[in-house]
Structure 1
Amino acid sequence: MPEVFHTFASFGLQERKPMRFEADVFECEVEGEIPPELQGSYYRSGGDRQYPSLEDDIILNGDGMISAFHFEEGHVSFRSRYVQTERLKAERNARRRLYGHYRNRHTDDPSVSNLPQRDNTGNTFAFEHHGKLFALREDSHPYEIDLETLETVGVGDFGALQSTALTAHPKIDPVTGEWWSYGVFAEGEPDTRASLHVFDKDGKLIREQMFDTPYPGLSHDWGVTREHLVFPIMPLVADDARLRDGGPYYQYDPDLPGKWGVVPRDGDPARDMRWFDIPGLVMGHVMNAYTDGDKVIIDTPASPGNCFSFFADKSGRFPAMPETITQITRIIFDLSKPDDEAVSLQPVEGALGDMPRIDDRFAMQKHTTGYFALRDFPQMGVGQIMWDTGELRVHELVGAASQEPVFVPRSVDAPEGDGFILTVVDRFEEKRADLLVLDGNDVSRPPIATIKLPFAMPMAFHGCWVPR
């Protein structure tokens, strides 16, 4: 008898169910006028389980779903497709669930116990580099996706890369075009082995260095400046013995401080890293990082407790809502000071939310504008921080919530922030979604255009704009 679909735990203590469909919408309904500068495609990736899961599943375990809004001469069309991973194809052939809990092979059907890249769902970041689109997932080598059709090409070619993990939050150097990446649990097991790796502008591996982290903790995003690298290790700890007992991959340990490694960009992480403690703070994403003299600055949404609300702590307790709320915070590492005096925190008043982005042309250097999904319930919307003045601008939403905002410059040489914000908005009462086009100079203004879809969409995590 076919299994039933259980709800799965999402962020913010929410419960969701998979939507389980691929879609094509030619000539989307548009309110307003599409700016003529928008010629290209906006790609997104998220998780949506096609087959039933075990009970107590989490959103991170969904099958990869790639979606695209194609812009051409004022017209917009939409397409979404599952990433055809070896995992999904095995389940389709069997016509049933074969895979168990998130990153726990001990909960799988015996018929797939030895499948390579078991966890590679491609469900986290639709990312373009050297003319290719990839579906990234932080514990695997990403799948390549056809830019037009969204059909799955196969696992990408990453040369002699030793690490089994390739972060879902790569950083493109806007000066050199290099793809900077790293991976924790780099040898495939939940341990302290990690890898720094860099690909040139053509996608060729030019650097890989192995190192160890202080403990086997979660590391979802990181910081790259023109002079330094920042590796955050969060106190959500992986443990193989727990996995063998059928337990969850991560467990929050409030007694451990977050560990933040800072190393010169041209240094050896195994030899030159300085590790700093920041207790009582958990982060998942990075807006940007830059170096100013002896100071390394990183902007991140940070919570006072465990913002990964679907992972319990070591006593079995799940966090209360106030512990999960993230606030955009500037963290400064003053490398001229001793370790216990080097770190300072500057939260931005009113900037509650996540999914931070910038104008990527200014990545790795001092930025003046940042964007994020505002989640100051009941106020929801899109936030914009003017870093030089501290001003917070808000595009308010009623009965709706924003997913990640992505910036598109008006032209290649436009000033920072002069362009457009693309963000998918969930319309809860209408059970459908819109794509808003907002003014990147001031998101508080009314939408320039609204691209309307006649259905809701699975939550996507991260995406990118590719000009035509």
Structure 2
Amino acid sequence: MPEVFHPFASFGLQERKPMRFEADVFECEVEGEIPPELEGSYFRSGGDRQYPSLEDDIILNGDGMVSAFHFEDGHVSFRSRYVQTERLKAERGARRRLYGHYRNKYTDDPSVSNLPQRDNTGNTYAFEHHGKLFALREDSRPYELDMDTLETKGVGDFGDLKSTALTAHPKIDPETGEWWSYGVFADGEPSTTASLHVFDRDGKLVREQMFETPYPGLSHDWGVTREHLVFPIMPLVADDARLRKGGAYYEYDPDLPSKWGVMPRDGDPAKDMRWFDIPGLVMGHVMNAYTEGDRVILDTPASPGNCFSFFADKAGRFPTMPETITQITRIVFDLSKPDDEAVSLHPVEGALGDMPKIDDRFAMSKHSIGYFALRDFPQMGVGQIMWDQVGLGGELRVHELAGAAAQEPVFIPRRPDAPEGDGFILTVVDRFEEKRADLLILDGNDVSKPPLATIKLPFAMPMAFHGCWVPSEKAA
């Protein structure tokens, strides 16, 4: 008997249902004028279940859905396709659900109990490096996709990499072109084993070092500066015994502090890591990180409780809304001080939201501008922080949305040598009442201005997590 589709839990205590369609829109409707500098493609990845899931499913368990907005001569076309993973192909072959709860192989149909890459859905980040497009998820090896058609080519070649996991938040060094990455649970099971790894500008593995984390906690994003690495471990703990009982992959432990490993960029993580405690703080994403002398500065949306609202705590309690709200916060690690004095937190007033981004040409170095999806309900939109003015009379710039919410904003420079922030913000906006989506093009110097152009889609879209812009000359 066919199964029904259950709502799945999303962020912000929301519930959603999968949309389950691939689409092509040749020649999208455009309101306004596309800036002539925008020649290339904007790729995004999110989760959308093709087949019904078990009850109490979560958004992180969706099949990878990659979408692309192709810009050419002032015209825009759209395409979306499922990532054809081994997991999805097995379900399509059976024409039914085979996989159970998020990262819990003990809830699967027995026919797929030994499938490698069981959790690899490619649903988190559409990421380009060395002329190749990848669909990333933090517990797996990324799939490679064709940039034009979004056809799935297969799992990428990562050389002699030992880690089974590559973070869904890699960092590209704008000076060397290197792909910096890491993976927790690097041996494939909930554990304290982690891996630091680096690929050169051509995608060749040039460094891998194994190390241990303080506990088997969630680590979704990290910080890389020109001199240091920062590894955050959050108190959402994985446990195989709980999985065997059919429980959730992560469980929030409010009695544990978040742990922050800081080490020299050229050091050995097994020997040179210094771990700091930050109690009562949970984060998922990093805007950027940089080093000034003995101070390592990291900007992140941080919450006072569990912002991963679909995971209960060890008492079985789910968080309340105030506990899940993230605020852009500057964390400073002063390495000249003792551990218990080294950390200071500096939240930015009014900067409530997530999905932070910068002008990536300034990654790993000091940045003066940051962008994020503003989520200060009922005020929703896109926020812009002028960091040099914070606390000095400067104001938070906001592009306000009515009856809508923005997904991740991505910055594209006007030209390669343009000043920081001189360019464009692309962000998909969910129009709730109209049940459809737009892609807004905003002025990167001041997002509060009206959109330069609006690309309209005649349908809604699944939530995408993270994406990237690929200029046309790189995609050629």
TM interval, short-chain normalised:
over 0.9
The C-alpha deviation readout for 1:211-247, integer Å capped at 9, x for no partner, is 0000000000000000000000000000000000000
Q: How does 1:356-367 map to 2 (within 5 A)?
A: 356-367=356-367
How far did residue 162 of structure 1 move? 0.1
Residue aligning to 2:96: 96
Letter aligned with residue 231 of structure 2:
F
Determine helix, strand or coil for the equivalent of 1:99. Answer: coil
Q: Distance in 1 between matches of 2:313 and 2:212?
A: 24
Q: How does 1:77-156 map to 2 (within 5 A)?
A: 77-156=77-156
Determine helix, strand or coil for the equivalent of 1:159. Answer: coil
Letter aligned with residue 248 of structure 2:
P
Letter aligned with residue 457 of structure 1:
M
Indicate yes or no: 2:462 matched with 1:435.
Answer: no
Residue aligning to 1:446: 450
The C-alpha deviation readout for 1:79-111, integer Å capped at 9, x for no partner, is 000000000000000000000000000000000
Q: How does 1:56-455 map to 2 (within 5 A)?
A: 56-390=56-390, 391-455=395-459
Letter aligned with residue 346 of structure 2:
Q
Determine helix, strand or coil for the equivalent of 2:140. Answer: coil
Q: Distance in 1 between matches of 2:110 and 2:281?
A: 39
Q: Distance in 2 between matches of 1:66 and 1:401?
A: 20
Q: Distance in 2 between matches of 1:15 and 1:80?
A: 23
Q: Percent identity?
A: 89
Residue aligning to 2:18: 18
How far did residue 343 of structure 1 move? 0.1
Determine helix, strand or coil for the equivalent of 2:361. Answer: helix
How far did residue 268 of structure 1 move? 0.3
Determine helix, strand or coil for the equivalent of 1:422. Answer: strand
Determine helix, strand or coil for the equivalent of 2:396. Answer: strand
Q: Distance in 2 between matches of 1:20 and 1:446?
A: 33
Letter aligned with residue 334 of structure 1:
D
The C-alpha deviation readout for 1:5-58, integer Å capped at 9, x for no partner, is 000000000000000000000000000000000000000000000000000000
Determine helix, strand or coil for the equivalent of 2:322. Answer: helix
How far did residue 138 of structure 1 move? 0.1
How many correspondences in the alignment?
A: 468
The C-alpha deviation readout for 1:373-432, integer Å capped at 9, x for no partner, is 000000000000000001310000000000000000000000000000000000000000
Q: Distance in 2 between matches of 1:117 and 1:242?
A: 21
Letter aligned with residue 470 of structure 2:
V
Q: Distance in 2 between matches of 1:53 and 1:250?
A: 18
Determine helix, strand or coil for the equivalent of 1:388. Answer: helix
How far did residue 62 of structure 1 move? 0.1
Q: Distance in 1 between matches of 2:79 and 2:189?
A: 36
Normalising to structure 2: TM-score of the pair? 0.98
Q: Distance in 2 between matches of 1:165 and 1:257?
A: 24
Q: Distance in 2 between matches of 1:463 and 1:361?
A: 16
Letter aligned with residue 110 of structure 1:
P
Letter aligned with residue 242 of structure 1:
R
Determine helix, strand or coil for the equivalent of 2:208. Answer: strand
Q: Distance in 2 between matches of 1:73 and 1:438?
A: 18
How far did residue 71 of structure 1 move? 0.2
Q: Distance in 1 between matches of 2:19 and 2:49?
A: 8
Provide runs of 4+ in structure 1 moved above 4 Å: none
CA-based RMSD = 0.2
Determine helix, strand or coil for the equivalent of 2:243. Answer: helix
Q: Distance in 2 between matches of 1:96 and 1:188?
A: 26
Determine helix, strand or coil for the equivalent of 2:242. Answer: helix
How far did residue 135 of structure 1 move? 0.0
Letter aligned with residue 418 of structure 2:
A
How far did residue 296 of structure 1 move? 0.1
Letter aligned with residue 277 of structure 2:
D
Residue aligning to 1:463: 467
Q: Distance in 2 between matches of 1:44 and 1:248?
A: 27
Letter aligned with residue 230 of structure 1:
V
Q: Distance in 2 between matches of 1:76 and 1:459?
A: 20
Q: Distance in 2 between matches of 1:127 and 1:168?
A: 9
Determine helix, strand or coil for the equivalent of 1:140. Answer: coil
Letter aligned with residue 453 of structure 1:
L
Q: Distance in 2 between matches of 1:292 and 1:402?
A: 33
Letter aligned with residue 404 of structure 1:
E
Q: Distance in 1 between matches of 2:247 and 2:46?
A: 24
The C-alpha deviation readout for 1:103-155, integer Å capped at 9, x for no partner, is 00000000000000000000000000000000000000000000000000000
Structure 1 unmatched runs, 5+? none
Normalising to structure 1: TM-score of the pair? 1.00
How far did residue 352 of structure 1 move? 0.0
